Structure 1
Amino acid sequence: MNNTETAPEYVFESSWEVCNKVGGIYTVLSTKAHTLQQMLSDRIIFIGPDIWDKTQPLDFVDDTSLFTDWKQHAESADGLHVKIGRWNVPGMPPVILVDFKPFFPEKDALYYMMWDQFHVDSIHAYGDYDESCIFAYAVGKVIESFYHYYKLEDKPVVAHFDEWMLGMGALYVKKQLPKVATIFTTHATSIGRSIAGNNKALYAYMDGYNGDQMAYELNMEAKHSIEKQTAHQVDCFTTVSDITARECEQLLDKKPDVVTPNGFEPNFVPAAAEYAVKRAEARKALLNMAEKLLGYSIDPDALLISTSGRYEYRNKGIDVFIEAMNRVRTSGQLQREAIAFIMVPAWVREVRSDLKKAIEIDYPNEEPMQCPFITHWLNQMQDDRVMNYIGYAGFTNAKNEKLKIIFIPCYLDGKDGILNKPYYDILIGMDVTVYPSYYEPWGYTPLESIAFGIPTITTNLAGFGLWALKAGVSGKNIQEGVVVIDRTDFNYFDVATEITNHILALADIADEKQKNKIKENCFDLAQKAEWSRFITYYKEAFSVALMHASERNS
């Protein structure tokens, strides 16, 4: 870090996931907020999309005392329609939600400006490109209006933009507000994710890939263009792990200025007394649901295993998870009843009314329900890859099987209709989690797991896995709290075998002292990844951005 570190007085941070829980970036920002609030005290302002029409997100709290005079000015003078309040997460930071839809008529002029000024090629745009870029443009206009209204021209100000979706916001601010220091974070390169998602060997041939060529081949030219140009144009370019830094350098032709690993906020984890209660409630809910679905009682001490995250079947290692669970099931070595949960949102059609009714009435089932593998009916269920692999592998979920598998294909937001508990209130009931990722720039799910005292299995293709090895775990023993499996482009079955062996080893541990030691090891490692420690990387990024902005303006 620079000895002459410069600190900002104001930080604007924008993302599609501010008050909008879609993926891991929501967790990055919502957990980081508390530490940033301690640093900046209401001068950290998050900006997100107002996509809620006449309602508002559950984690947004109106605050009519915040920026009231500016709001009136922004609407009357600048044509900005915003909601202002606080993000209902630890720290309660100020948040601005902007309605970007009125700016769609300016799309062509915006894209021309981006080509003319920054060589951003939007010709081949499709899908969510337009919506994302118009939102980014609206964010830029919000920052511009706020900046001028409050006369921040002589103050050190940082504008931080997350992912390619906000790239045009960063470029707009650079053009319109040259004194503002800009930061752009790519949490995963669009082209790297696409290469991996198209079943191409990303790592074995990394040094041979050309990002522009692959963008053309995979029809990703527009997203790749905005991401690459933003990375080159901002005052500080960051990414979240060493493995993604390598990806950026190869595919975006830009080495990140700072690597900013993702931390976690301990305020999300229940204190000791409440922890035991929450864990018991989670296990009760999961076992009750499973008993109703399967049609028989389950050992209260059953080993509960889970995986979760976005439905990226190969990238997140969902395929390997099912393969490993099948190997555990057929190993003949599992002496303890076990249930494996796949908690991955899919294209849900509706809650299973039979399961919902059975849970509400709470009567014991004596027969398994139809398709006793899933809690919600899916659209095009016959084409679902998880359900097809469960069937192909031969799972029966019969009482005489030691391991059962259940797919919970919905967002666990407390309103799913079956468990009706948020994700963390379910996670705390697990005995072990498995995230055998092939493509994982960071890996919040395994970090969340150990933060809740649950041992986890991840890979060295996840940024978190590499960090855990640096932080001191051997990666070879589940009793340390984290296993880090060596995964390559080509060792799928070896990974499944390793997962199987670690699950069987954990299932054999009966001693409570040993279990508590594993939990403590998880907590100890998670403490090393708290935002109070990792915020130092962001301080460095702020300093680098402000320094480069100062040089650029002089």
Structure 2
Amino acid sequence: MGKELIKPDYVFESSWEVCNKVGGIYTVLSSRAKTLQDAMCDQIIFIGPDVWHDNESPYFQEEKSLLAEWQWQAKEEGLKVKVGRWAVPGKPIAILVDFQPFFEKKNEIYGWLWEHYQVDSLHAYGDYDEASMFSYAAALVVESIYRWLGKEVEGKHVIYHANEWMCGLGALYINNVLPQIGTVFTTHATSIGRSIAGNQKPLYDYLFAYNGDQMAEELNMQSKHSIEKQTAHYVDCFTTVSDITANECRELLDKPVDVVLPNGFDNSFVPKAATFTKKRKAARKRLLDVANALLGESLDDDTLIVSTSGRYEFRNKGIDVFVEAMNRLLRDRELKKKVLAFIEVPGWVGEPRKDLQERMAKNEKYETPLDVPQLTHWLHNMSHDNVLGMMKYYDMHNRKDDKVKVIFLPCYLDGRDGIVNMSYYDVVLGNDLCIYPSYYEPWGYTPLEAVAFKVPCITTDLAGFGLWANGVFGHAGEIEDGVKVIHRTDYNYSEVADAIKDTVAKYSAMPKNDVESCRRKADALSKKALWSEFIEYYYEAYDIALRKAQNRMNK
């Protein structure tokens, strides 16, 4: 790069998903934390929302002695905070802030935002207010600590890193009241791009023609779009997670990104050698036990276990095309094994099925399936559920002679779901193949996690990870590379379903040596996406922000 990068002395990073597991951003931040903590030793501080109040958070360990003096000052200033450590590798300092008290100042805050940055909060609804009040509270926390540190931070390089539109208000506040701090803003997906895709509109072919502001009005997204766009324009360094989303930012936010920050992975918790084999066996046994009890079958270890997982965005995550592909696979003559396909997507779950729990407790063989043999947990909205609706439409009822059985596991795999009772990372090990045929996926952690656990996967080139994998391979990924990357467009849904079907059939016929080779290649690819490889992009972003802050202060 030539020039010496300016490195930060302190980084404050805020996100709605700090110590609050909602989606992929939790994984981004929590897995990156160790790399930064190792480099900065307690001078990286994460700020998240106190959504737990009096309940104990499984992700946060309070330590009253941390920043004890500042905690007194914060209290004096009317900030309600908990200080402790995030219960993830590296155990970085985390501050959870109660944002509820700021609701009474909401109009005043939005007025200031309009006056200084022309952010339109008039059309706010849903989670906009909640996110904005948190964002404001997080910025006040940073301002308070910064002033409390006083001489310690004078002349030092300090970064404030805000994630997603939810933290935009805070980034603008810091930009305004502490101009000596370099601000970085990362949009992990544009709110308007996600909305266009989720509303069944073609995103990619027409991207050049969409006007972000106009679409925001049409889709009732003015406020979220406005805060995201203005933050992108005003911060010192604007970033996103993949080249795909960088295109979106340029077209929909009228602002090219300064740096692309691809999402890395921390593989310290991937089991090694004998433990890996043992855990893989345990996961396969558990998945087969669940299936056999539910279906009244005796599927053995030779069954090909495949799955898809992620958030329940039926079209965006490609859950629809996964069901379509499994339906087509039912009639595929090339299929050499029985297939057990799990859809591990949290739905509006009611409770684990008592009849299934009873069968599993007895540990006997059953000849007859339970009612609704496609489902492990009862749902609140059985008749309106997309997965069940599509399976019903295709008459997919997991009949005895079906070579492909599809089971919907509609809950978070946290080890306490009542049926599988294993965590997601323990379950993913048991798969032979993971399938993520996303239509809208700025990065895509699920395929990266799969390959880190040596499970080959199928994804698309509309996922940032898929595009990155193609770049590493130097060609469109094939299953023999460890990742099959299917070309996906606005209109080739049917071809994508066929490509998935053909890849699963091909994999089912592969000799053991070839399967092992695919698994090794998947593992090797995951090593190229470790945080130790990707953290340099963050230092580039910090450098850009710190130089701008320096220039500002020198004027």
What interval of TM-score do these two structures reach, taking the shorter chain for normalisation? Answer: over 0.9
2:336 equivalent in structure 1: 335
1:47–1:441 distance in 2 versus 1, CA, 3 Å: same
1:111 aligns with 2:110: yes
- Decide which moves more: 143-152 or 54-63: 54-63
Mapped to 1, the partners of 2:371 and 2:383 lie a distance apart of: 15
2:83 equivalent in structure 1: 84
1:357 equivalent in structure 2: 358
Aligned ranges 1:216-365 → 2 under 5 Å: 216-365=217-366
2:147 equivalent in structure 1: 148
Alignment TM-score, normalising by the size of structure 2: 0.98
Contact 1:160–1:182 (Cα < 8 Å) also in 2:
yes
Mapped to 1, the partners of 2:477 and 2:425 lie a distance apart of: 26
2:98 equivalent in structure 1: 99
Aligned AA (2:295): L
Contact 1:335–1:402 (Cα < 8 Å) also in 2:
no
Mapped to 1, the partners of 2:363 and 2:64 lie a distance apart of: 45
- Report the alpha carbon displacement of residue 347 of structure 1 after superposing the two structures with TM: 0.7
What SS class does the counterpart of residue 342 from structure 2 fall into? strand
Mapped to 2, the partners of 1:41 and 1:530 lie a distance apart of: 20
How many matched pairs? 552
Aligned AA (2:112): M
2:407 equivalent in structure 1: 406
What SS class does the counterpart of residue 497 from structure 2 fall into? helix
What SS class does the counterpart of residue 483 from structure 1 fall into? strand
Mapped to 2, the partners of 1:43 and 1:444 lie a distance apart of: 27
Mapped to 1, the partners of 2:475 and 2:255 lie a distance apart of: 32
Aligned AA (1:545): A
Mapped to 2, the partners of 1:323 and 1:201 lie a distance apart of: 20
Mapped to 2, the partners of 1:434 and 1:200 lie a distance apart of: 23
Mapped to 2, the partners of 1:518 and 1:50 lie a distance apart of: 43
- Decide which moves more: 93-102 or 353-362: 353-362
- Report the alpha carbon displacement of residue 106 of structure 1 after superposing the two structures with TM: 1.0
- Report the alpha carbon displacement of residue 2 of structure 1 after superposing the two structures with TM: 5.9
1:61 equivalent in structure 2: 61
What SS class does the counterpart of residue 150 from structure 1 fall into? helix
Mapped to 1, the partners of 2:47 and 2:20 lie a distance apart of: 11
What SS class does the counterpart of residue 136 from structure 2 fall into? helix
- Deviation string 1:287-307 (CA, Å, 9 cap, x unpaired) is 111111111211222100000
Contact 2:208–2:251 (Cα < 8 Å) also in 1:
yes
Structure 1 unaligned regions, length at least 5: none
Mapped to 2, the partners of 1:59 and 1:516 lie a distance apart of: 36
Mapped to 2, the partners of 1:533 and 1:451 lie a distance apart of: 14
- Report the alpha carbon displacement of residue 399 of structure 1 after superposing the two structures with TM: 2.3
Contact 2:470–2:477 (Cα < 8 Å) also in 1:
no
Aligned ranges 1:476-487 → 2 under 5 Å: 476-487=477-488
- Deviation string 1:419-446 (CA, Å, 9 cap, x unpaired) is 1111111001100011111111001111
- Report the alpha carbon displacement of residue 17 of structure 1 after superposing the two structures with TM: 0.6
2:21 equivalent in structure 1: 21
Contact 2:335–2:506 (Cα < 8 Å) also in 1:
no
Aligned AA (1:145): S
Aligned ranges 1:428-467 → 2 under 5 Å: 428-467=429-468
- Deviation string 1:254-292 (CA, Å, 9 cap, x unpaired) is 000000000001112111221111111111111111111
Aligned AA (2:355): D
Mapped to 2, the partners of 1:205 and 1:50 lie a distance apart of: 40
Mapped to 2, the partners of 1:68 and 1:363 lie a distance apart of: 57
1:38 aligns with 2:45: no
- Report the alpha carbon displacement of residue 473 of structure 1 after superposing the two structures with TM: 5.6
What SS class does the counterpart of residue 7 from structure 2 fall into? coil
Contact 1:286–1:419 (Cα < 8 Å) also in 2:
yes
- Report the alpha carbon displacement of residue 234 of structure 1 after superposing the two structures with TM: 0.5
Aligned ranges 1:509-528 → 2 under 5 Å: 509-511=510-512, 513-528=513-528
Mapped to 2, the partners of 1:360 and 1:174 lie a distance apart of: 58
2:470 equivalent in structure 1: 469
Aligned AA (1:398): R
- Report the alpha carbon displacement of residue 344 of structure 1 after superposing the two structures with TM: 0.6
RMSD: 1.1
Contact 1:473–1:482 (Cα < 8 Å) also in 2:
no
Contact 1:443–1:463 (Cα < 8 Å) also in 2:
yes
Contact 2:12–2:160 (Cα < 8 Å) also in 1:
yes
Contact 2:470–2:476 (Cα < 8 Å) also in 1:
yes
- Deviation string 1:7-26 (CA, Å, 9 cap, x unpaired) is 00110111111111110000
Contact 2:164–2:185 (Cα < 8 Å) also in 1:
yes
Mapped to 2, the partners of 1:270 and 1:50 lie a distance apart of: 32
What SS class does the counterpart of residue 473 from structure 2 fall into? coil
Aligned AA (2:289): N
What SS class does the counterpart of residue 331 from structure 1 fall into? coil
Mapped to 2, the partners of 1:488 and 1:2 lie a distance apart of: 39
Contact 2:436–2:459 (Cα < 8 Å) also in 1:
yes
Aligned AA (1:539): Y
Mapped to 2, the partners of 1:9 and 1:2 lie a distance apart of: 22
1:424 equivalent in structure 2: 425
What SS class does the counterpart of residue 405 from structure 1 fall into? strand
- Report the alpha carbon displacement of residue 130 of structure 1 after superposing the two structures with TM: 0.3
1:508 equivalent in structure 2: 509
Mapped to 1, the partners of 2:84 and 2:134 lie a distance apart of: 19
Aligned AA (2:132): C
Contact 2:324–2:497 (Cα < 8 Å) also in 1:
yes
1:389 equivalent in structure 2: 390
Contact 2:325–2:501 (Cα < 8 Å) also in 1:
yes
Mapped to 2, the partners of 1:133 and 1:330 lie a distance apart of: 51
Mapped to 1, the partners of 2:116 and 2:381 lie a distance apart of: 45
1:136 equivalent in structure 2: 135
Mapped to 2, the partners of 1:476 and 1:234 lie a distance apart of: 36
Aligned AA (1:343): E
1:159 aligns with 2:147: no
Mapped to 1, the partners of 2:298 and 2:154 lie a distance apart of: 67
- Decide which moves more: 420-429 or 58-67: 58-67
1:542 equivalent in structure 2: 542
Aligned AA (1:115): W
1:492 equivalent in structure 2: 493
